[in-house]
Structure 1
Amino acid sequence: MDDGGPALFRLVRYWSRRWARGVALETGDDASVPQHVLVVDAVDALRRTGGEVTIGQVARQLGLDRSGASRMVAAAAEKGYLEQRRAHSDARRSVVALTAAGQDLLDQSHQWQRAKFVELTAGWSSSDRATFARYLERLARDVEA
C-alpha cells in the first residue's frame, strides 16, 4: 500500500507552524513575525499568478475568512511588510503588495527553508535529494494550479 498521503500530512502538521516560527527566531523579531511570514508568503504566491492581489484572494490562500485575512494584512502593513492601496481596475477594492521589507522577510524565510531541507536530507545522496526536490516542486506547482 502507498502511504504517501498520511506521510505527507504528518509532514504538513509538523511544519505548518514551525517554519514561520523558525524564521522569526532567526530574525530576532517580535512574536508576531510568524503571522507576517504566512501572509507575506501568501501574497507572494498570489502575485506570481499575475494581476493585483486582493484581500479576498489572501483569505482563500490562507484558508481564513476575509476579516481574519484583512487583520493579518493590516498588521503586516503596519510593520512595513505589505502595502495596501486602491485597485487600478476598481477603486472600491483594496489590493496588497510586498514592500522591500516584505521581500527581505520572504527572502529570509526561503533561506531558512532551504537550510532546513538540506539539514533534513543531510544523510541522503545528492541524487535522492535532487529527485525529492523536483517531486516536491512538481507537487507544489500542481497544488497551486
Structure 2
Amino acid sequence: MTAELDLEHFLPYRLSVLSNRVSGAIARVYSERFDLGITEWRVIAVLGRYPELSAGEVAQRTAMDKVAVSRAVARLLEGGRLERDVSDADRRRSVLRLSEAGRAILAEVAPHALAFEQRLLAGMAADERDALFRLLDRLDALELQAEAELDAPQ
C-alpha cells in the first residue's frame, strides 16, 4: 500500500505555497517597474545586505538553484545593476556588488517589501510573531540536520 500524501498537512508543500504567494505579492512591486524576476530581486536584496559575495555564495545563502542564480546575475550584470570584481582577499575569487542602479532599485523596493511584511504580520500579536520567528529558526536548524542525515553514509 502506498502512503497517502495529504498536501494540506505536508510541511514542505505548505511552506512552498506560502512562500510563492508572499514572493508573488512583493514581486508586483518590482517586476513591472524594474523588469525584475523573483530570483533577480533576491540577488539584489542579498547583495544589499551582504556585499561582495560570489554567485555561489548568493546561491548558498538563499538556497536557490545555482543555475538560476547564475542566470539572474548575468542579467543583472548586463543591465548594469551589478558589478563584478576580483576579491581583495583572494585574487582568484570573483565577487559581486550592487551598482548605483542596483542600489537605487533596492532603496525604492525595500520600503515596499517591509511595508508588505508589516501588513502581513499586523494580524499577529507580538508574542505570536516572536514565536513564529523562533519556530522558523528551529525549522531551519532541523532541516539542516535532516539534510545532513540524508547525505550521511548508511
In the TM superposition, residue 97 of structure 1 has moved relative to its aligned partner by 0.9
Give the secondary structure class of the aligned counterpart of 1:17: helix
RMSD over aligned CA atoms reads 3.3
* Code of the aligned partner of 1:17: G
Render the CA deviation track for 1:40-82: whole Å, top value 9, x for unaligned.
12323444xxxx41111112224212x4422211211222221
Q: How many residue pairs are counted as aligned between the two chains? A: 131
Matches within 5 A, 1:1-145: 5=11, 8-25=15-32, 28-30=33-35, 32-47=36-51, 52-60=52-60, 61-65=62-66, 67-121=67-121, 124=123, 128=125, 130-135=126-131, 143=140
- In structure 1, C-alpha distance between the alignment counterparts of 2:16 and 2:99, rounded to whole Å: 32
Contact 2:85/2:95 (8 A) holds in 1: yes
TM-score (ref. length: structure 1): 0.65
Percent identical: 27
Gaps of 5+ in 1: none
Contact 2:39/2:69 (8 A) holds in 1: no
Change (3 A) 1:54 1:140: farther
Contact 1:53/1:97 (8 A) holds in 2: yes
Contact 1:37/1:109 (8 A) holds in 2: no
Give the secondary structure class of the aligned counterpart of 1:22: helix
TM-score (ref. length: structure 2): 0.62
In the TM superposition, residue 138 of structure 1 has moved relative to its aligned partner by 5.2
Give the secondary structure class of the aligned counterpart of 1:73: helix
Contact 1:86/1:95 (8 A) holds in 2: yes
Give the secondary structure class of the aligned counterpart of 1:63: coil
Contact 1:42/1:58 (8 A) holds in 2: yes
Larger Rg: 2
Gaps of 5+ in 2: 1-8, 142-154
Contact 2:23/2:38 (8 A) holds in 1: no
